[in-house]
Structure 1
């Protein structure tokens, strides 16, 4: 199975949806920020590993504690994923902090500041 095959794309989408539901509704860890979202998921073609890109709305301390909470709940998340998705192998999930939304907001603010300075 190639990395960008139709099957792999469908698996990525299904894992993304289920992972979002599990993080949003089933994990009760107080370290995990309620404004946590799964941005993207990359499941390896052999279905053994998975990178989940997580975006957390908050400061750096909140982001680090959310990552720590997710890493400690990794076994629970994987077992729930195995029950909800019928795959040959349930992938091992590695959570990666995604800074792209925060970067985009900061760039937008900088562009707005430059545009306001140019008006004067």
Structure 2
């Protein structure tokens, strides 16, 4: 498994918990349970192997998708993604902060579109 981006995890656990709350919505899990697993991981440098079996299930079900498997929303919807449909790990924190979920290809495409001169 890839290393956990601790800055991203810290953001999700301490700064903007809405993403975790949305992930557990309509389940029997409580947000505080997922936040507790996230806090444990932060306290232990992201060492997933230190989690108990129940904590591993919580991590796999809720935190792992937020950290490693986030869909690109494309330029005008998911079907317009110019990449592989997933956001690269190094761009995720900025996506969460801006609430604009685009992969590198889509971000570059929107920069190109916004910097090109308008046609008369």
Between structures 1 and 2, the one with greater helix share: 2
Between structures 1 and 2, the one with greater strand share: 1
TM over 0.5: no
Bigger relative contact order, structure 1 or 2 (CA pairs below 8 A, ≥6 apart):
1
Give the TM-score taking structure 2 as reference length. 0.30
